[in-house]
Amino acid sequence: MDGSSAEAAAHRYQSLFSDVAGISSRELLEDSLLPSSTPTTSSTRSTIQPKWRFHGHNVLLVDVRTDSERDVSMISGAVSLGEFKTNILPSLESRVSDSDSALPDMIVTYCTIGFRSGMEARNLIHEYPTIFAGWENDDNSAQEEGRTSITKVGNLDGIIPFANATEYERSSNNEQSPHRIPMEPLIIDRKTKTATNKVHVYGPSWKMHLSPAYEAITFSRIEFAWRGLMVLSRSCWSFACCQR
């Protein structure tokens, strides 16, 4: 398995969403594992405190996959899209100032390989234009457009590239980067919050892109076909909204 093949596939999907920043798992890990990043631990982290950092931004990861995919595993510190809209979005809407460090100033969506998460990231920008902005917008343009605050939105390359990147970091952490923060479990069981080597890769064709250090779980053929139709329908709606 060549990890770069997963990154290349994800980059192709990310490029479909030019209004959303494409985020690399390797860069996210590199920025978050540096001592200056001071990520919070699970014992001190609240439901809205960011654990991840990217280019100086406090990042909250939002998992847009289905419940059955998240039941296999999630990225540590991530929340589901439903949890985000119910518990965190209202706080972002009422944020008093951009200096509110208890809230993330960047939302990064993720799925398997960057397509579904790209759609949901774009939808956030279009549905909540006073809160979210794509990477190309700066603070001044946001203020001119009447935004109450600036929250960047990004699209991660997916849980497959993320899993591959964690394996790379583990192998190089002690040898090449002894200054890095000791790695916490980064892919966890949703219920127990403990480390797991299982990753849902959606369909059988994505198994080859996952590091052999992880066990790939897929949908059944029937469910795969049904969910493919759902994604197609959702993508048509998302791209139509972008043209408005």
pLDDT tens digits for range 80-105: 999 999 999 998 888 755 555 678 88
The torsion defined by the Cα of 176, 23, 9 and 180, in degrees rounded to 10, comes to 10
For residues 61 and 39, is the Cβ–Cβ distance under 8 A? no
| pLDDT single digits (tens) 99-134 | 556 788 899 999 999 999 999 999 999 899 888 886
Write the DSSP string, 67-131: HHHHHH-EETT-EEHHHIIIIIHHHHHT---TT-TTS-SEEEEE-SSSSHHHHHHHHHHHH-TTT
Q: What is the pLDDT of residue 25?
A: 96
Mean pLDDT comparison of 48-57, 191-200, 221-230, highest-scoring range: 191-200
Q: What is the pLDDT of residue 173?
A: 59
The torsion defined by the Cα of 173, 175, 179 and 183, in degrees rounded to 10, comes to 20
Share of the chain above pLDDT 70, in %: 68
Q: What is the pLDDT of residue 42?
A: 42
**Residue 161's pLDDT band (boundaries 50, 70, 90)?**
very high
Whether residue 141 has pLDDT greater than 80: no
Q: Where is pLDDT greater, at 164 or 184?
A: 164
The closest of 146, 157, 201 to 17, measured between CA atoms, is 157
**Sign of the dihedral defined by the CA atoms of residues 163, 64, 139, 240, in that order:** positive
The rounded distance, in Å, linking the Cα atoms of 25 and 117 is 14
| Residue 80, phi-psi category: left (phi > 0), alpha (psi -120 to 50), beta (remainder) | beta
The rounded distance, in Å, linking the Cα atoms of 144 and 149 is 11
The rounded distance, in Å, linking the Cα atoms of 72 and 142 is 38
| pLDDT single digits (tens) 34-60 | 765 444 444 434 444 458 999 989 999
**Of 31-40, 129-138, 161-170, 189-198, the least confident:** 31-40
| H helix count then E strand count, the chain | 9, 11
Q: Average pLDDT over the chain, rounded to whole?
A: 80
